[in-house]
Structure 1
Amino acid sequence: MASFSVEDFVGNGVLKDLLPTLLEEGWDDIPTLKIMNSEDTDAMNMTRQQKDALEIRSYLHDRALLQYGDKLEASGKCLPELLSLSTGDLSSHFGMKRGHIARFMDRTGACEDPLLKSYAPLTARKMNSTVSRNNSNFKSYSSVSSKKMQTISSMNYDKSLEQSLADFKIKDGYIFKGIVAAGPAELRACGCVQPPPVVDSVAPYSSIENISVQKLTPEYKIGMEHLVKTKTPPMKAVELWRDKPAVILCIRRPGCIMCRAEAHQLYAKKPIFDALGIRLFAVLHEHIESEVKDFWPRYWGGVVLFDRSMEFFKALGGGQLLRDKFISGFIFNPRAIANYKRAKAMGIDQNFKGEGEIKGGLFIVGRDKSGIAYQFIERNFGDWAPVAEVIDICSKLRVS
C-alpha cells in the first residue's frame, strides 16, 4: 500500500494521538513527516516508542508496505531489530507475504527512482535560439542559496535540504537530455514497429498560459475532506505559476499502475520542491470521480486539475495528442514492459478504467510569464522524467 494520507501513515498506533499536535506544528503531510530529525522529535516531546514508530512507518512507506505498520509497531521492536528477524519470523508473526519480505529486507529502498541507471544514455535535445529567448527563467547557480529557501523546520532543515539536493545532483557521466526530453526511441517487435515520433522543440508558452483548468482536489493536509465539496470555477493555467514556478505532471490515466508510480515518486520529494519554492500540480484529461478518489491522496497528495480540452496534452505533442495502441505500444514494446515491472515492484494497485492511449508528460514552468523551462514527453507507456533532472532544473529557476 502506498498512501499520502497522514491518517493511513500513522495508523492506529502510538502516533495517532499526536495528530492534533503535528497539525499545529506544521507536520501535516507525509513527505514532511518523513524528514523529521532527532531535534524535531525532541521538540515534539516524542517518547522513544513514538520515535521508533515514526522510523518504522517511514521505512515501510518508502517500500509501499504500510499495511504492516500496526503489527510491526505493536511488536515493541525498533526497526533494526525487525530487520534482523528471519524470513520465517516475518511471515509467521506478522503475516508478511514472501514478495513483501524481500522488499522489506532490501535496505536500498524498493521505491527509489532507478531511471538514472536504466535510461542512461538518453537522447539529448537542444533548444533553438527562439526557445532560448522565450525562456528567460534560467539562471546558472553552482548551488541553491538556503537564504531563498522556505524552511519547514526551524532547526536543521537547511542542512537536511542541502544533503537532499546533493543526493539528487546530476552525477558525472549522466547525459542531460535537454529542455525537451523523452525516453529512448527503441524499435519494437524486432524492428517491425516504429516508435511514435516526438517533438524536438519546447511548446510555445502561449499554448499553455490560457488553458482553462478546474481544481478537483486541494493540497492534502491532516483532517482534510477527501475531495473539494463544491466544484470550483474554471481558471486560467497562468494562475498556477503566477507567483511561483510550477511542475505540471500530465497524467495519462490515474488508474494506471505506471502513472500512479510516477506520481508517487515525484510527490515523495515534496519537501525539496517546497524549499525551492516550486508548486506541484497533477493534470487529468478525463474526470471520473471514483478514479480521482482512488488517486488522491493515496498516490498524489497535491492539487489535482482537470484539463477538459486536453490542451496540456496537445502541447506535449506539438499541438496534437500523442497516442499509442496497447498492442504496439505495450505488448511489443520492451521499454514499456520494463516500466510496468518497475511500477509493479513498488506494490501499487491498478485498474483499467478510463481512456489510456493519450500520452502524458511533464512541464516545469517558470514564475509568471517567464516561460517553459523543461518539457518531458512520455514516448513509451510509463516513461517519466528522472527526478534528479527535474530537481536540477528546478534548482536553477529564478525564485524571488
Structure 2
Amino acid sequence: MASFSMEDFVGNGVLKELLPKLLEEGWDDVPTLKIMDAEDMDEMNLTRRQKDAFEIRTYLHDRALMNYGDRLEASGKGLPELLAISNADLASQYGMKRGHVARFLDRTTACTEPVNKSEVFSIRKPPTTSRSDSLIKSFGSTTSRKMASVSRYSAATMMTYDKSIEQSLADFKIKDGHVFKGVISAGPAEPRACGCIAAPPVVDQVAPYATIENITVQKLTPEYKIGMERLLKTKGPPMKASELWRDKPAVILCIRRPGCIMCRAEAHQLYARKPLFDAMGVQLYAVLHEHIESEVQDFWPRYWGGVVLFDRGMDFFKALGGGNLLKDKFISGFLFNPRAIANYRRAKSLGLDQNFTGEGEIKGGLFIVGRKRSGIAYQFVERNFGDWAPMAEVIEICRELQNQQQEQGESIKSSQDYA
C-alpha cells in the first residue's frame, strides 16, 4: 500500500525540489496533492517533466506501486508511453515483477479509489435538494435506533463511496439542545465452523453520548504535513475527548491493532478520502488502545496521516461494546470465520505489509460525532475481524451533518437580517 508520506510520494525525482513551494501553496499532504489538476499545475508553473512525474506518481500511488516511481520517472517518458510498453520490457528495463506488471497495465482497477477535484467541489456546494428528495430517511422520534441489517457487505460496497446506501440513515436535525440518537451498523453474523460456533453478539443501540464525552485521550502524533517531525517529541498531555469535536464533527476510527493488515487497509482507505472530509468540515482521528512506539511509527504516516490518539482506558472500545470490550479469539473468530478470512484476503490483495505485534483480540469500530454536544451520529462495530464501516454510509452521514450545519448557519443569518 502506498505511503502517505509526502517525501515518499515525490521520491528523488524532479518533484522533490517543489516541496517548499507545495507547502507554501497548501498542497501539504498526499490525498490533497493527488487532486491537483492541470489548471493547478499551470498556476504553479510546473514544467512538462514535472507534470509527467506527477501523473506517473499519482497513478502508481493508486496501485501501490510507488517503489517503481524513481525508475519510471527517470525514463523521461510520460504515463501514456509507459502504459504502451510491453510486459517483457517493463520487467527487463524497470525490474517490475510479473504481478506488478499486470497491476500497472490495468487502468480500470486501483487499490485505492481515487478522489478527483470535481467531487470535492461538489461536496463544498450548499445543498440544493429538498429533504423529501434526500437519501436520508427518518427513523422517527424513538429514543434509540435499532440496527439495520446489511444485506450486501462486499469489498466493492465498502471501498466505493458513491454506490447506493445499504442502510437507512437517520434524518438528523441540529437544534438547540438536540442530541443525535444515531445509527448503528455492523457486518453480518455469518455461521462459523458450519454453524457450530455462534458469532458474538453486538450492541443494537448507539452508545449514549455521556459514555464518550469525558473519555481521556493522549495525542501521539499530529496531523501529517510536509517536513514536520515524524512524531511529537513530547507526547501531548491528557485531554478530554469532547475537545476533539468541540468545533467540528469528527470521525473516530478505533483501531484494533495498528500492525494488523486489515486495520491498516481500513485506515488507508479512509484517510485517502481526506479531501472529501476536509470539504465537509469533518476531522479524522485514529484511536489506539495500546501504545507501542515502534508500531505507531510504522503506522503513521504510511497508512494514516491524521492525528493518532491513545485511549489508555480503552473507553472508546468499551463504548463500542455497550460498556464491555468486544473480543474474539483467533481460532473461532478468524480461522473458523469465512467473513474474516474474506476480509483478510481483501486487505492482502492491496499489497500491505503486516506484523503480529501487540494485542489483537479487542474489536474496533468507528464513531461519527457531531460538533459540540450534539451526540453520536453514527457507530459501526467490527463484528468480524477486518469489517470496515461502509464508506457510502460514512460519507453520507458526514454530508448530512454538513448540510444541516449550512442550513443552521443560513437560518441564523436570516434571523439576524430580519432583526
TM (norm. structure 2) is: 0.82
Match of 2:62 in 1: 62
Give the distance between the partners of 2:338 and 2:392, measured in 1 at CA: 24
In structure 2, list runs of 5 or more residues that go unmatched. Answer: 114-136, 146-159, 170-182, 410-419
Match of 2:205 in 1: 201
In structure 2, the CA distance between the partners of 1:112 and 1:92, relative to structure 1 (3 Å rule), is same
Match of 2:188 in 1: 184
In structure 2, the CA distance between the partners of 1:9 and 1:241, relative to structure 1 (3 Å rule), is same
1:274-313 equivalences in 2 (<5 Å): 274-313=278-317
Query: What root-mean-square deviation, in Å, do the aligned CA atoms of Structure 1 and Structure 2 show?
Result: 1.7
2:205 partner letter: S
1:272 to 265, 269, 276: 276
Shift of 1:93: 1.1
Give the distance between the partners of 1:264 and 1:127, measured in 2 at CA: 35
1:353 partner letter: T
In structure 2, the CA distance between the partners of 1:246 and 1:353, relative to structure 1 (3 Å rule), is same
Match of 2:265 in 1: 261
SS of the equivalent of 1:374 reads strand
Per mean C-alpha deviation after superposition, the further-off stretch among 227-236 and 75-84 is 75-84
Give the distance between the partners of 1:169 and 1:261, measured in 2 at CA: 19
Match of 1:31 in 2: 31
2:242 to 238, 241, 262: 238
SS of the equivalent of 2:219 reads strand
Correspondence 1:168 to 2:161 = yes
Match of 2:9 in 1: 9
Give the distance between the partners of 1:256 and 1:32, measured in 2 at CA: 26
In structure 2, the CA distance between the partners of 1:112 and 1:232, relative to structure 1 (3 Å rule), is closer
In structure 1, list runs of 5 or more residues that go unmatched. Answer: 114-123, 133-166
Shift of 1:170: 4.2
Match of 2:75 in 1: 75
Give the distance between the partners of 1:292 and 1:379, measured in 2 at CA: 24
In structure 2, the CA distance between the partners of 1:74 and 1:205, relative to structure 1 (3 Å rule), is same
1:36-77 per-residue CA deviation (whole Å, 9 max, x = no partner) reads 011100001001111111111111111111111001111111
SS of the equivalent of 2:301 reads coil
Match of 1:91 in 2: 91
1:168 partner letter: Y
Match of 2:126 in 1: none
2:51 partner letter: K
Identity %: 75
TM (norm. structure 1) is: 0.86
SS of the equivalent of 1:356 reads coil
Give the distance between the partners of 2:163 and 2:139, measured in 1 at CA: 18
Give the distance between the partners of 1:177 and 1:62, measured in 2 at CA: 31
- Whether the aligned pair in 2 keeps the contact of 1:287 and 1:306 (CA below 8 Å) is yes
Shift of 1:232: 1.1
May I ask how many residue pairs the two structures share in their alignment?
354
Match of 2:337 in 1: 333
1:19-168 equivalences in 2 (<5 Å): 19-112=19-112, 129-131=142-144, 168=161
- Whether the aligned pair in 1 keeps the contact of 2:184 and 2:379 (CA below 8 Å) is yes
1:345-384 per-residue CA deviation (whole Å, 9 max, x = no partner) reads 1111000000000000000000000010000110111100
Give the distance between the partners of 1:376 and 1:384, measured in 2 at CA: 8
SS of the equivalent of 2:57 reads helix
SS of the equivalent of 1:4 reads coil
Shift of 1:128: 7.4
2:98 partner letter: R
Give the distance between the partners of 2:229 and 2:168, measured in 1 at CA: 40
In structure 2, the CA distance between the partners of 1:103 and 1:126, relative to structure 1 (3 Å rule), is farther
Give the distance between the partners of 1:334 and 1:110, measured in 2 at CA: 25
1:211 to 215, 234, 241: 215
- Stretches (4+) displaced over 3 A: 124-128, 167-170
Q: Give 1 or 2 for the bigger CA radius of gyration.
A: 2
1:394 partner letter: C
Shift of 1:319: 0.5
Give the distance between the partners of 2:335 and 2:103, measured in 1 at CA: 27
Shift of 1:126: 6.3
- Whether the aligned pair in 2 keeps the contact of 1:110 and 1:345 (CA below 8 Å) is no
- Whether the aligned pair in 2 keeps the contact of 1:243 and 1:368 (CA below 8 Å) is yes
1:379-390 equivalences in 2 (<5 Å): 379-390=383-394
1:194-239 per-residue CA deviation (whole Å, 9 max, x = no partner) reads 1111110000000001000000000000001010001211000000
In structure 2, the CA distance between the partners of 1:330 and 1:92, relative to structure 1 (3 Å rule), is same
In structure 2, the CA distance between the partners of 1:177 and 1:319, relative to structure 1 (3 Å rule), is farther
SS of the equivalent of 1:339 reads helix
- Whether the aligned pair in 1 keeps the contact of 2:112 and 2:272 (CA below 8 Å) is no
Give the distance between the partners of 2:168 and 2:196, measured in 1 at CA: 27
SS of the equivalent of 1:364 reads strand
1:315 to 314, 319, 332: 319
1:266-311 per-residue CA deviation (whole Å, 9 max, x = no partner) reads 0000000000000000000000000000000000000000000000
1:49 partner letter: R
Give the distance between the partners of 1:359 and 1:128, measured in 2 at CA: 30
